[in-house]
Chain A
Amino acid sequence: MKGVVQDQARSSRKSIAQRARESAGRSVMLRSFFIAAWAALLFLPFHGIRSALVLFAGIFAGLPVMQSAMRLGGPGEWMQRLPGFRAFTLRSFPFLRTSALPVFLLALFVLPFTLKDYYLDVLVMSGIYMLLALGLNVIVGFTGLLNLGFAAFYAIGAYTYALLNTKFGLGFWPSLPLSAVAATLSGLLLAVPALRLRGDYLAIVTLGFGEILRIVLNNWDSLTNGPNGISGIAPPFLFGISLGSLNFYYYLVLGLVLLSVLIIRRVKSSRVGRAWIAIRENEIAASSVGVNVTRYKLYAFAFGTFWAGIAGALFAAKMRFVSPESFTFMESVFILSMVILGGIGNIYGALAGAFILVLLPEALRDVQMYRMLLLGAGLVLLMIFRPQGILGGRKGVRIRG
């Protein structure tokens, strides 16, 4: 009896900070338990009880460690305490810091000479998705307008080039800006009615637009050849020489991604960019400081869908074939995942997100059956431990419609 009283007294003497730490520790344990149990349950039917238990134990023990490593947005405290850790940060090598970017760019330029075609092909696809993620990031990340139908604008870009080329014989170079313009105009067309809505309602309308467009492409046989798609799209030509090689696409995509990063960076730090961020942060406050909210939301839609049009034309030229199958709702979700994974509102995050989400399924080809499962689990883990995304700076920027 006496012992219990003493025990209570002792626990009430614990500092508030100590108690907060303990309860945080408990919630980590609880969370790890649920995640581990969930993963084990998913594995059970495929691998039997033993591997499910191993997986459970691994996740249950590993998660708290991982969290302490990732919580602070960089190396965890425990890593910094390792002897010599500080000596190995980039900061201690000024030469590396200043030369990192040129070296990186140079590496990008010589890559095609060293890589197998398969890897180059994956890189080209990730470049196309980078353009898409950069475009969607303007709408969702900068302006905070949730768009679940972004693949529609990608489709419009792709079909514009496909149709101009196969029906009118127009080449890639004049078609590229036309594809971008077509996507921009359709973006504006959707934005004018949709921007009267907020939040979930805007998300649903954009989702609906994406589906409607896909269904139209699927059924307008006389124009789009329906589900069979359009084949025989010509690659780009320059002075009568076909540029259909993988190396060429690599450099084209690389150039366009670099160009788009430069342009989007400039726009972000301009008046327009500041207006976008103000709208994302608080719409009423933005209008009370004199931001024309409707106009800048339109700009965001137009500017974001522009890059989707470019990506679409590239995709059509590289594949030489388009069909509605490539532009499903899943595609929109995939692009949105890239933006969220990389860090909403962060330009380099969008690049990283696109790179990782294109590469990861390829890397996981050996475990074919589980790759979507692993990918999904990875995204869930990321949202739990680092909700601001890989490169998201200011923690917890919300998406709002």
Chain B
Amino acid sequence: MLKLTSLQASYGPIRAIDGIDLEVNKGEIVCLIGSNGAGKTTTLMAISGILKADAGDIFFEGGRITNLPAHEIVKKGISHVPEGRRIFPKLTVRENLQMGAYTLSSGKRAGTDEEGLIAKVFDLFPILRDRRDQMGGTLSGGEQQMLAVGRALMSGPKLLLLDEPSLGLAPIMVSKIFRTIREINNEGVTILLVEQNAKASLKLSHRGYVIESGAIALQGSGEGLLHNEDIKKAYLGE
């Protein structure tokens, strides 16, 4: 479904990822783990078009999407939940979700059932229903993360890119978010997950990639990586 071939991208003069090869099949949860600064976030930003790639290619459902503008990539069915819960703080929860359906309200996709989509997000995250008229910025960290995920689902994506959904959340919230990720996947949305919480995300994922200083160091099934001795030492603290 998604395929990266020797992808390179930089921030100014600094090369952040240097030849990433990665594949995500339809229906999978794939996680990308690695330490700080390894290039996880950069990879997602390059896929969603927020950052330009220097070299290499990105294919989605057979078509080349390398360096398409971000709004075009959303229309193709890739939805990105950026790191650090970038919600619209001065808009209400409802308005945030409505913005998520932005690409649906134009052209031939006009007339989509926005209310139905919002109701589905509320079913997934009931707390958002209670908070629907509250400003996004007044929600707790976990609720903001839910809102960011819910907003990404509003465009009806085929592939969801999640960047550190557990960052800065209380342990109970983390397990809640991870359960919901599985639920979203069960509904047929393919997921590429970037995480520092290696253990939880490997348990959740079908397959995983380990990224080290801008390149893929290891790959395998979630279960397999979880029991890999090197991984245990480096990332699981065992």
> Do A and B share a complex?
yes
A positions within 8 Å CB-CB of B: 271, 274-275, 277-278, 281-282, 284-293, 394, 397
Whole-angstrom CA separation of A286 from B96 in the bound complex: 10
List of B residues within 8 angstroms of A285 by Cβ: 82, 86-88, 148
Cβ A289 vs Cβ B102 within 8 A: yes
Interface range for B: 20 to 34
Cβ B50 vs Cβ A289 within 8 A: no
**8 Å CB contact of B82 from A275, A278, A281, A288:** A288
A23: min CB distance to chain B, Å: 22
Whole-angstrom CA separation of A274 from B80 in the bound complex: 19
**8 Å CB contact of A271 from B70, B91, B106:** B106
B positions within 8 Å CB-CB of A: 48-50, 69-71, 74-75, 79-82, 86-91, 98-100, 102-103, 105-106, 135, 148, 151-152, 154-155
Cβ B91 vs Cβ A281 within 8 A: yes
A278: min CB distance to chain B, Å: 5
A399: min CB distance to chain B, Å: 13
Interface class of chain A by DSSP? helix
Cβ B75 vs Cβ A290 within 8 A: yes
Whole-angstrom CA separation of A139 from B48 in the bound complex: 27
Starting from the known contacts A278-B88, A291-B99, A293-B71, 13 additional A-B residue pairs (CB-CB under 8 Å) come to A274-B99, A274-B102, A277-B88, A282-B89, A286-B99, A287-B50, A288-B70, A288-B80, A289-B99, A289-B152, A289-B154, A290-B102, A290-B103
B65: min CB distance to chain A, Å: 14
List of A residues within 8 angstroms of B80 by Cβ: 288
**Between-chain CB contacts (< 8 Å), 6 pairs:** A285-B148, A286-B99, A288-B152, A290-B70, A293-B71, A397-B90
The chain A residue with its CB closest to the CB of B148 is A285
List of A residues within 8 angstroms of B103 by Cβ: 289-290
B74: min CB distance to chain A, Å: 3
Q: Which of B49, B98, B102, B105 has the most CB of A within 10 A?
A: B102
Whole-angstrom CA separation of A274 from B105 in the bound complex: 12
> Given contacts A289-B74, A292-B69, is CB(A282)–CB(B105) below 8 Å?
no
A291: min CB distance to chain B, Å: 6
Cβ B71 vs Cβ A292 within 8 A: yes
The chain B residue with its CB closest to the CB of A394 is B90
A152: min CB distance to chain B, Å: 29
List of B residues within 8 angstroms of A293 by Cβ: 70-71
The chain A residue with its CB closest to the CB of B98 is A274
Whole-angstrom CA separation of A275 from B101 in the bound complex: 12
The chain B residue with its CB closest to the CB of A296 is B71
The chain A residue with its CB closest to the CB of B49 is A287
Whole-angstrom CA separation of A278 from B101 in the bound complex: 12
List of B residues within 8 angstroms of A278 by Cβ: 88, 91, 99, 102
Whole-angstrom CA separation of A282 from B148 in the bound complex: 12
> Given contacts A287-B71, A292-B69, is CB(A282)–CB(B102) below 8 Å?
no
Whole-angstrom CA separation of A46 from B155 in the bound complex: 64
**8 Å CB contact of A288 from B74, B90, B91, B105:** B74
Whole-angstrom CA separation of A285 from B155 in the bound complex: 13
List of A residues within 8 angstroms of B75 by Cβ: 290
Whole-angstrom CA separation of A285 from B137 in the bound complex: 14
Cβ A284 vs Cβ B87 within 8 A: no
The chain B residue with its CB closest to the CB of A393 is B90
The chain A residue with its CB closest to the CB of B89 is A281
Whole-angstrom CA separation of A92 from B227 in the bound complex: 71
Cβ B155 vs Cβ A289 within 8 A: yes
List of A residues within 8 angstroms of B82 by Cβ: 284-285, 288
List of B residues within 8 angstroms of A282 by Cβ: 86-89
Whole-angstrom CA separation of A328 from B71 in the bound complex: 39
B28: min CB distance to chain A, Å: 22
List of B residues within 8 angstroms of A290 by Cβ: 70-71, 74-75, 102-103, 155
List of B residues within 8 angstroms of A289 by Cβ: 74, 99-100, 102-103, 151-152, 154-155
Whole-angstrom CA separation of A289 from B70 in the bound complex: 9
Q: Which of B81, B88, B135, B148 has the most CB of A within 10 A?
A: B88
> Given contacts A277-B91, A281-B91, A394-B135, is CB(A288)–CB(B106) below 8 Å?
no
B149: min CB distance to chain A, Å: 12
Q: Which 8 A-B pairs have the closest CB atoms?
A: A290-B74, A290-B103, A281-B88, A285-B86, A287-B70, A292-B71, A290-B71, A288-B80
B208: min CB distance to chain A, Å: 24
Cβ A284 vs Cβ B135 within 8 A: no
Cβ A291 vs Cβ B90 within 8 A: no
List of A residues within 8 angstroms of B106 by Cβ: 271
